Chains A and B, each alone.
Chain A
């Protein structure tokens, strides 16, 4: 590709052809403020914050969409540009509620940051205000249309990345709002509740339904035995949410922090992830022997499961009957653990720390009561957990790492990698291979299923069979893969699907912002966690062996079926 030279603020800048002015400026280290623009997601020129002067152009140009051309002379910081940007900001603010002190995104809001940057002290424009009630119809997400600045990032991520397309602009002009059609609430829509929209929203217009107060309440209740489980991906992102470098591993500090918050026991979803591998691995072997239904598709990602129920009901028989690790944990906590520790399950409260918004929905699914109680009571995102830790005055930097409690806190590296795309597949292959061959796996790392490529494929040689597997992350990629399977263009035995790009490390409940670079760092961290674990195969987990010996008897046995497996039902697409 050819190189071009342009002048930005009297500085000669040489960049490759095909970039926008914004990208060229960024390469040269020149800052242009943006609001609706989001790298890899959205360049809509909707907000106009990035306007610049281009010599020869009659009007200011939006840097995020204007191609950089050889010989262009650009100025990003003139009185005219500054005044235009300030006016644009004031106009946006003229229809924005001044609720920053009580807003979910207060302190982490792009609009707030720009208002500060531009030294906005008053909004000179007074006019009509958007009046719309918040939408609290789902257990996962809350929409606050009055806080929406119509940037359309959520639309792009929902349609283009996730292939869902529930959120679109409605009406036009001043009446425009982003939301579901027909004035519907999100709860009535075929929304996966993946929460990718919450990661890209620059303001507080869409965010998780917070349950922080519910957790404080049970922690303060002496009659409750409150236990907590931490999802695989949380140990590589909670630190980031608390200001540490992306990719920081804070497993032990997280345990210490949760104990300090007052949880009676700190357990690990990784334990249940190992358990999932035992059950799902056995299910795969059974389906391979029985001849179907294949491919077996993973069921850990509740956003994916809900998506499938809405859009691909024909694949429901392919989804593993295994509950997700979160739900397996809950069901065992109120049966096995309750019995072992002689605590009445009605007094046990299970709290989950999840990288996910759909997990809040999953915990509320009507099937998830096999323990005789709601298996999981409260689900917090990583962001909410970070807020609780801050509220309690705990500084994660000062904490000595602590160990999880036994037995539901004992896990292997295979459980940890559930947090990254390809991880469930890899964990399953480590176990299924050894289960089927009785031989020790020579190379434990399945590199072919790792990384951010949209759909990954691999073949694993077993004595009588070459097992063909595929991995997709992000619902848009999942859709492409399912279409290929549906049209018989591809055939697999085992498929892993995670709703969010990158897997759970890129989940809708993760720190904001979450972009490709941060996803990569979190993925690298999670494979480091795996590498440093003494045990890296689920079937070697001693706590699991004990669990099967004392309670479940065997994978896919009667108790497993009662507590650890579930079924699915088609949901409305319209």
Chain B
């Protein structure tokens, strides 16, 4: 990720207060709360967690990379969830995901270098009748074909420079 991302003083204070009230055994809930604050879990934050909870950094990283809900990179300005629940899967979610990877050059759990897009795979949005389904930010795209993807992405790229509410928490960032 080439963009500059800086955790703000205010966020750090919140992280510290979360860790203040946590113990060794609270690693996962503490990480969840921190990710809610910052949107992802950069290395400097992991070091802080390791230090405060007296857990090896390797173990903190191990937990973070094991659970899909934790993210090592900030989410993109436009966050894409690709449903791979049973119905969407059967209706070709894999091809939709492949097309997204081709167009954006990144896969699930990753963010494009310009910080505009990130992709995650999720299980069932409860819109099985409309599969295959993806969501971008809070908008749902249904009954997709791979060929629809470039057009949709292009639309968000145009929006990219305009004021658009990011899915993640507000952050002090130039991307």
Contact = CB atoms under 8 A, between A and B. Distances in A.
Interface of A: 159, 164-172, 180-182, 189, 574
Mostly, the A contact residues are loop
Given A182-B43, A574-B47, A574-B50, A165 B65 contact: no
Most B Cβ at <10 Å: residue of A166, A171, A181, A574? A181
Given A159-B59, A169-B62, A170-B62, 14 more contacts: A165-B55, A165-B56, A168-B58, A168-B59, A169-B66, A170-B61, A171-B66, A172-B66, A180-B58, A181-B46, A181-B57, A181-B58, A182-B43, A189-B58
B69 to A, nearest CB: 12
Interface in B83-140: none
Contacts of A574: 47, 50-51, 57
B61 to A, nearest CB: 3
B56 A171 contact: no
Nearest to A159: B56
Nearest to B64: A181
12 contacts: A165-B56, A165-B58, A165-B59, A167-B58, A168-B59, A168-B61, A168-B62, A169-B62, A172-B66, A181-B46, A189-B58, A574-B51
Interface of B: 43, 46-47, 50-51, 55-62, 65-66
B113 to A, nearest CB: 18
A471 B60 CA distance: 31
Contacts of A181: 46, 57-58, 60-62
B56 A182 contact: no
Contacts, number: 38
Given A181-B61, A181-B62, A574-B50, A168 B43 contact: no
Contacts of A170: 61-62, 65
A189 B58 CA distance: 10
Nearest to A574: B47
B56 to A, nearest CB: 3
Contacts of B47: 574
Contacts of B66: 169, 171-172
Most A Cβ at <10 Å: residue of B46, B50, B51, B59? B59
A548 B62 CA distance: 53
A342 to B, nearest CB: 52
Nearest to A173: B66
B38 to A, nearest CB: 17
Contacts of A189: 58
Closest 7 CB pairs of A and B: A165-B56, A181-B61, A168-B62, A168-B58, A574-B47, A181-B58, A172-B66
Contacts of A164: 56
B49 to A, nearest CB: 11
